[in-house]
Structure 1
Amino acid sequence: MLAKVLSLKLPSSPTWYIVPAAAILLLFGLLVTNGVITISTEEVTDFLTGDFALYVLVGLAAQLVDGALGMAYGVTSNSFLLSLGVTPAVSSASVHFAEMFTTGASAISHFRFKNINKKLFKSLLIPGVLGSITGAYLLSDIIDGNAIKPFIAFYMLVLGVIIIRKALQKTFVKNKTKRISILAATGGFLDSIGGGGWGPIVTSTLLGQGRDPRYTIGSVNAAEFAVAFASGITFMLFTGVDSWKVVLGLIVGGVMAAPFGAMLVGKIKRKPLMLIVGTLVIALSIRTILLSI
């Protein structure tokens, strides 16, 4: 499998990297110019050390997992950053902001590899954005996101079990998905409130209903760009960004990994992919519940 994946060639079009890179440089320049991101001489010197390379590797690994499985960017990157000594507050803020760019690169990749169900994508887009903005606003002033994490985790654990059960079924029956708009709004809202969950909630629910993994993961990942961008802007307006080295490292690594994650999702067969997703959801849910006790 590894040899087969490595033998594949990405499209030669420079769109893969020029568009995300230009967007990154433009917004980064605007943020520096307007004082949202402050850079000192000491920070520039520290930037040249090995820490930045580690953050790039974290972003690469997290986006590879998210692009191929449709979930777990936040949990993967947060876990790595915390293990590197980054404080929880800086880690969470950095991941939210970086997702604005990594999800954009991932969306382009999935579109190029034709992993998108356009009808599903459109159904997820607007409700997901509205839900994420609402959640980010409420979390900034009213709701304690940590208080509802165990309930979200339990829901995801149940979904993980359902996905594994469906993967092991000998006959594959696709159930018609109902109320996708409500699902997207809920996923966007809880993603902002709980610091993550768009993929596990939306992707897991759709896969649990028997939808095709390739097009489900591609469509959900593509819609996540708009969701992440909306919540990232909302959080930025309230908290600002001062951990720019971590953010930029995550962005660079994520943009590099995005095409490969999209490539893998089309090459892994349905059964093993669903087993991987189900196991991942269960493991992450148990982890969240234990950390919340």
Structure 2
Amino acid sequence: MLQSPKTNNNVPFSQEEKGNQLFPVFVKLNQLRTLLIGGGNIGLEKLTAIVNNSFQADVTIVAENINPVIVDLIVGYPNVKIKQKRYDASDLNDVDIVFVATGDNVLNEQIRTEAHDKGLLINVADKPELCDFYLGSIVQKGDLKIAISTNGKSPTIAKRLKEILNDGIPAELDETLQNMSALRQTLKGDFASKVKTLNKVTENLINNKKSFAERNIKWLIWLSIILFIYTAGLTLWNTEPEFKTFLIDIDPLFYWFLGAGFVFAMVDGAIGMSYGVTTASFSLAMGLPPASASMAIHISEVLSNGIAGWMHYKMGNVNWKLFRLLIIPAIIGAVLGAYILSSLEHYSAYVKPVVGVYTLVLGGIILKKAFNIKKKKAAGDKIKKIGPLGFVGGFIDAAFGGGWGSIVLSSLIAGGRHPLFSLGTVKISRFFIATLSSLTFFTMLGGRYWEAVLGLIIGSALASPIAARVSNKISAKTIMVAVGIIVMIVSLRSVIMFILKLI
């Protein structure tokens, strides 16, 4: 009778191959002799991974051609040596572990066979079937190190998890780790009592305690929405009797702004910026004065950013420490900007070209960032002055009708902050900023241009939940190029029209 094939451990192959069968270990490369075969870009990637995790590793690089970047890199690592020559089997002598990065499949097979003949473990770049071990994505905070493996199925998923963990785990955790080590040395008693004491000290790490804002963000958003609706409704009831007739006889302007609100909110959700800039340019082109345009923009953003902020909160995309540093200065700047712009409403003919020049410049900045979207500073160079950034971003956004995302989000990402968490934090902050600046505009101006306001509110609200979910599935570069060009054209038209009137 036929039986299922067995392994040496009498485990059926079907059972053995199920799931991730890799055994995780942390290797002391600083105590081993490492051979790296290959000196191109892949070799550079492997060498960088090795020295970043074990800067005292004893590494010998064997390759006929050496990437100049490798030569520059090893200046800071005296234990790394280069043998610029063709590989032969003798290179495996006096070696403990082997990394292969040649790109030559025939040579890779040869090296693997010869390495196994000598009992050496080998890793072959981009060839999982030839590897005895894989290099996982690494998250490191001081002495804490986490390795992530997908069993070779998806390095992209591993890198994505690395980004999330790297941003989510506070750097201060290493300080806690050092304190725990010191505490451990002072503990007395048997093993069970030591474990009990350490568990009590680290209990707060697993309790997942949330700040007041995290626990109550849903209610804060709803309370702000109710406060806004009540204030807006009361203001309209007392100052704008025409609003009642508006609901019966809708101006075609409403439909233009309905479509614009939907499109601009989708774009904003995809790249995290440009809603204010695109809407301001569009509003000015449709004849709205700057203050009224900014009011319409910020009112529409109350609901759309409340929805988007809630979606990002539910998806865990909010950095609450960053939120706390950002929100108060940003609100102060936004309210101040709204007050000043509203005070200049009577001079809208002169303010309008100024706003046009501003949006023209922002369009150029967006276009520039489109071609530098992947350039980031090192993680250690994170932007520190969050409060002043929030104040400036809030003020300019309210005073000129847009720029919060273009200024704040782009600065956070350029300053080394994680793009996804920066986007979520900026979105949820934007909700509170839009609410407070809208209330300021209402107090100063009353209700005006409600065709534009309602169109933007409904259009952007419809787009917001969709945009939040597709924010990482659209080519941001393509959208940013298109937005930059359109904003510059519309803004340039506004400036030219003003100049022609003067002439």
**Under a length normalisation based on structure 1, what TM-score does the superposition of the two structures give?**
0.74
Shift of 1:192: 1.6
Distance in 1, matches of 2:478 and 2:356, equals 23
In structure 2, do the counterparts of structure 1 residues 111 and 280 end up closer, same or farther at CA, with 3 Å as the change threshold?
farther
Distance in 2, matches of 1:208 and 1:281, equals 20
C-alpha distance after superposition, 1:131-187 (max 9, x if no partner): 1111122223369575476468547745753563351x5x97333112011111000
Task: Name stretches of at least 5 consecutive residues in structure 2 with no aligned partner.
Answer: 1-217, 497-503
The alignment status of 1:195 with 2:195, answered yes or no, reads: no
1:233 to 423, 429, 439: 439
Map 1:72-87 to 2 at 5 A: 72-80=274-282, 86-87=286-287
Distance in 2, matches of 1:141 and 1:41, equals 27
In structure 2, do the counterparts of structure 1 residues 121 and 188 end up closer, same or farther at CA, with 3 Å as the change threshold?
same
Shift of 1:61: 1.5
Greater C-alpha radius of gyration: 2
Q: Is the 8 A contact 1:207 1:213 kept in 2?
A: yes
Distance in 2, matches of 1:155 and 1:253, equals 23
In structure 2, do the counterparts of structure 1 residues 26 and 266 end up closer, same or farther at CA, with 3 Å as the change threshold?
farther
What amino acid sits opposite 1:209 in the alignment? G
The alignment status of 1:39 with 2:242, answered yes or no, reads: yes
Q: Is the 8 A contact 1:156 1:201 kept in 2?
A: no
Task: Name the SS for the 1:46 alignment partner.
Answer: coil
Q: Which residue of 1 aligns with 2:318?
A: 116
1:165 to 372, 380, 395: 372
2:453 to 247, 268, 275: 247
Shift of 1:100: 2.6
Distance in 1, matches of 2:488 and 2:455, equals 29
What amino acid sits opposite 1:262 in the alignment? A
In structure 2, do the counterparts of structure 1 residues 254 and 75 end up closer, same or farther at CA, with 3 Å as the change threshold?
same
The alignment status of 1:279 with 2:487, answered yes or no, reads: no
- The worse-fitting range, judged by mean Cα deviation, of 172-181 and 235-244 is 172-181
The alignment status of 1:105 with 2:316, answered yes or no, reads: no
Q: Which residue of 1 aligns with 2:465?
A: 259
C-alpha distance after superposition, 1:221-276 (max 9, x if no partner): 111111111211111111111322331222122212111111112445xxx43x35
Question: What percent of counterpart residues are identical?
Answer: 30
Distance in 1, matches of 2:363 and 2:256, equals 30
1:69 to 267, 271, 276: 271
Task: Name the SS for the 1:45 alignment partner.
Answer: coil
Q: Is the 8 A contact 1:166 1:210 kept in 2?
A: no
Q: Which residue of 1 aligns with 2:234?
A: 30
1:135 to 333, 337, 340: 337
Shift of 1:189: 0.9
Distance in 1, matches of 2:254 and 2:359, equals 33
Q: Relative contact order, CA 8 A, sep 6+: which one is greater? A: 1
In structure 2, do the counterparts of structure 1 residues 146 and 187 end up closer, same or farther at CA, with 3 Å as the change threshold?
farther
What amino acid sits opposite 1:57 in the alignment? G
**Under a length normalisation based on structure 2, what TM-score does the superposition of the two structures give?**
0.46
> Which structure has greater helix proportion?
1
Distance in 2, matches of 1:101 and 1:222, equals 11
- The worse-fitting range, judged by mean Cα deviation, of 139-148 and 172-181 is 139-148
Distance in 1, matches of 2:388 and 2:288, equals 31
1:220 to 402, 405, 426: 426
In structure 2, do the counterparts of structure 1 residues 222 and 284 end up closer, same or farther at CA, with 3 Å as the change threshold?
farther
Q: Is the 8 A contact 1:145 1:193 kept in 2?
A: no
> Which structure has greater strand proportion?
2
Q: Which residue of 2 aligns with 1:204?
A: 410
Q: Is the 8 A contact 2:338 2:441 kept in 1?
A: yes
Let me know the Cα RMSD of the aligned residues. Answer: 3.5
Q: Is the 8 A contact 1:67 1:221 kept in 2?
A: no
